[in-house]
Structure 1
């Protein structure tokens, strides 16, 4: 079915208005910032955006504008922005988890080394006590009393 020039102009105006809304982030519930939602919002058949159909140039313009926003770091679709943010957060959390696991491993190794050193020191102390108790060369001093030797004249 052919449409008149006035209908075509009216459709293009609706498409451009819907395009502007989507690019501002006004995404309808259940929609995305894509051609399907654009066609639905503009009340135009989606197939009119493909091939040699009348609104192919508008699809190209829409895709170019979406890409330009994404290149500038802006994502008009809030769901896409949330997905991007969550992916970045997951990456950071994985890095933190790997760092935490490495720290736990290092501390576990340190604890093992510390316990081995303490055990070796304990064995040395026990050995030295046994050696000291087994020899009679250790002289015990008498209790300390004040003894004055000599006098001052």
Structure 2
């Protein structure tokens, strides 16, 4: 079915109005910032945006404007913005988890080495006490300390 020039102009105006709303972030419930939602909100068949149909130039314009906004760091679709934010947050959390696991591994190794050193030192102390107890050449010092006060000349 052919449409008149007036109908085509009216459809284009309606499509551009919906395009502006979508790119401002006014996404209808259950919709996205995409051609499917643009077509349904404009009451135009989606196939009209492809091939030799009447509105492929509007699809190209919409995609270009959407890409420009995304490159500027603006995401008009709140769902897409949430997805992007959650992906970034997930990446950061994975990095923190990896760092924490590395720290835990390092601390576990340190603990193992410290316990091994303490065990070795304890064995050395026990061995030295046994050696000291078995020899008579060790002189035990008295427990009380004698203080000598001298005179200075």
* TM-score, length of structure 2 as denominator length: 0.90
Residue deviations 1:31-63, cap 9 Å, x none? 111111001111111111111111111111101
Which residue does the alignment assign to 2:118? 118
Alignment partner, residue 136 of structure 1: 136
Unaligned stretches of 5+ residues in structure 2? 149-153
Q: Distance in 1 between matches of 2:131 and 2:68?
A: 84
SS in 2 for 1:31: coil
Q: CA RMSD in A?
A: 1.8
Aligned to 1:68: 68
Q: Deviation at 1:144?
A: 5.2
Q: Name the residue aligned to 1:8.
A: 8
Name the counterpart of 1:151. none
TM-superposed CA distance for 1:140, in Å, is 3.9
Structure 1 length-normalised TM: 0.90
Q: Does 1:23 align with 2:23?
A: yes
**CA distance in structure 1 between the partners assigned to 2:142 and 2:55 by the alignment:** 113
1:135 Cα deviation after fit: 0.8
Determine helix, strand or coil for the equivalent of 1:65: helix
Q: How does 1:32-43 map to 2 (within 5 A)?
A: 32-43=32-43
DSSP-derived class of the 1:53 partner: coil
Check 1:61–1:138 CA distance in 2 against 1; reply closer, same or farther (3 A cut): same
Task: Provide the rounded CA distance (Å) in 1 between the counterparts of 2:3 and 2:139.
Answer: 121
> Aligned partners of 2:92 and 2:50: how far apart in 1?
40
Change (3 A) 1:11 1:137: same
Query: In the alignment, does 2:112 pair up with 1:99?
Result: no
SS at match of 1:93: helix
Task: Please identify runs of 4+ aligned residues in structure 1 that moved more than 2 A.
Answer: 138-146
